[in-house]
């Protein structure tokens, strides 16, 4: 009998075909609507594998309902929507899709740097609203990108890809991580900085750290106050790392100059959110990795992770390797 897999959304056909061949599928077939909690609760106890997205909250209480689940495969690199500790406790592997989305997400981070600095969205609206009367010396003037100082918080895979792009713009690059990366410093010509120093010195601050207990609310009023009034904050990582109330105040009062946001505390961001009233904010609907090629690849890798894990092979991208060794030594199951 084939293993049973629960899929929480209509996924690209290229991945679905693979899954259908290997597994018996239980599917939520909507493309635009996440599976309701009741659907997940109904089926989680019946399946060997779960193929999920970042819109699914795979928390302890859901995981506790599973009794034969072996692999949770998410079609994302960030896995803060999954209670990894609860999965590990039960010897359930958690897998994700890093690497394949690195360059695409870095492109979007850089697009936000350019869009905010040069006021692209605001200028386009200005034109379409018929406000463009003449060329004038200071019309829609923004901030210089070329030669500016870029501070990256979270110098991992995507952080490095943004730094590579920045060197083409002759930017001075600072980064902040918990661990210093001497080899990457040499390779990318960048310097390590404490968080305070980075915030004070940077013209652009790009957040690319994962959402964790440590990074939750990492950028709030006191951090924003350290930034230059001409500085721009870009968040392509996760909502919740930047405090949105404090960010709104900082943008409205001119504490900082602009912000570019691909992610929000609540997604979709409510249309009456105060940040959406500001012209110096560029807002996007969490499309960091959204190129056709990359999303296809992510869907495929998430399928392959599941196929390997359920075949007893180690998947390529395991979030909780200790659960893998526990499974293989017969430990970790409750």
Active site residues: 238, 267, 286
Strand partners, 105: none
Of 66 and 102, which CB lies nearer to ligand NAP in the complex structure? 102
Of 66 and 305, which CB lies nearer to ligand NAP in the complex structure? 305
| One-character DSSP codes across 308-325 | HHHTTSPPSSBS-HHHHH
Strand partners, 150: 173, 204
145's tokens? 């990108």
Nearest to 302 by CA among 21, 114, 95: 95
Q: At what angle do helices 102-117 and 120-128 cross, to 10 degrees?
A: 60
Least distance to ligand NAP, CB of residue 321, Å: 14
Least distance to ligand NAP, CB of residue 317, Å: 11
Of 44 and 109, which CB lies nearer to ligand NAP in the complex structure? 109
| One-character DSSP codes across 159-178 | HHHHHHHHHTTT-EEEEE-S
CB 206 within 8 A of CB 232: no
Q: Which residues bind ligand NAP (CB under 6 A)?
A: 77-78, 98, 101-102, 105, 153-159, 176-179, 208-212, 214-215, 236-238, 262-263, 286, 288-289
Least distance to ligand NAP, CB of residue 253, Å: 26
Q: How many residues does the chain have?
A: 334
**C-alpha to C-alpha distance for 209 and 52, rounded to whole angstroms:** 22
Least distance to ligand NAP, CB of residue 153, Å: 6
264: alpha, beta or left, given left = phi > 0 and alpha = psi -120 to 50? beta
Least distance to ligand NAP, CB of residue 170, Å: 23
Nearest-CB residue to ligand NAP?
156
Nearest to 49 by CA among 307, 319, 331, 314: 307
Least distance to ligand NAP, CB of residue 261, Å: 10
- Walk across the sheet containing 4-7 and list its strands: 24-27, 4-7, 49-52, 71-74, 93-95
Tell me how far apart the terminal alpha carbons of the chain are, to the nearest angstrom. Answer: 25
């Amino acid at each position: 009998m084939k293993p049973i897999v629960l899929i929480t959304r209509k996924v690209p056909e290229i991945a679905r075909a693979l899954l259908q061949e290997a597994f018996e599928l239980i599917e939520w077939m909507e493309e635009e609507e996440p599976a309701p909690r009741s659907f997940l609760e109904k089926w989680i106890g019946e399946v060997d594998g779960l193929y999920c997205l970042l819109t699914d909250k795979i928390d302890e209480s859901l995981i506790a309902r599973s009794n034969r689940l072996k692999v949770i495969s998410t079609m994302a690199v960030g896995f803060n929507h999954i209670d990894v500790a609860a999965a590990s406790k039960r010897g359930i592997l958690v897998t994700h899709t890093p690497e394949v989305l690195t360059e695409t997400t870095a492109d979007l981070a850089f697009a936000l740097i350019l869009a905010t600095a040069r006021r692209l969205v605001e200028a386009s609206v200005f034109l379409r609203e018929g406000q463009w009367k003449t060329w004038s010396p200071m019309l829609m003037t923004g901030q210089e990108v070329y030669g500016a100082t870029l501070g990256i918080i979270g110098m991992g895979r995507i952080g490095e890809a943004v730094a590579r792009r920045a060197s083409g713009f002759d930017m001075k690059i600072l980064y902040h991580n918990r661990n210093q990366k001497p080899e990457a410093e040499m390779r990318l010509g960048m310097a390590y900085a404490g968080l305070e120093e980075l915030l004070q010195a940077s013209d652009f601050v790009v957040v690319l750290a994962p959402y964790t207990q440590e990074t939750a609310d990492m950028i709030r009023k006191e951090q924003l106050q350290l930034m230059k009034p001409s500085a721009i904050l870009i968040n392509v990582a996760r909502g919740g790392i930047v405090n949105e109330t404090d960010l709104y105040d900082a943008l409205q009062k001119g504490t900082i100059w602009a912000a570019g946001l691909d992610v929000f505390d609540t997604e979709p961001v409510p249309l009456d959110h105060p940040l959406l009233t500001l012209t110096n904010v560029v807002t996007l609907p969490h499309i960091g990795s959204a190129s056709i090629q990359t999303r296809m690849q992510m869907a495929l890798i998430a399928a392959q992770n599941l196929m390997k894990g359920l075949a007893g092979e180690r998947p390529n991208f395991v979030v909780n390797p200790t659960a893998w060794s526990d499974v293989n030594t017969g430990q970790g199951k409750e």
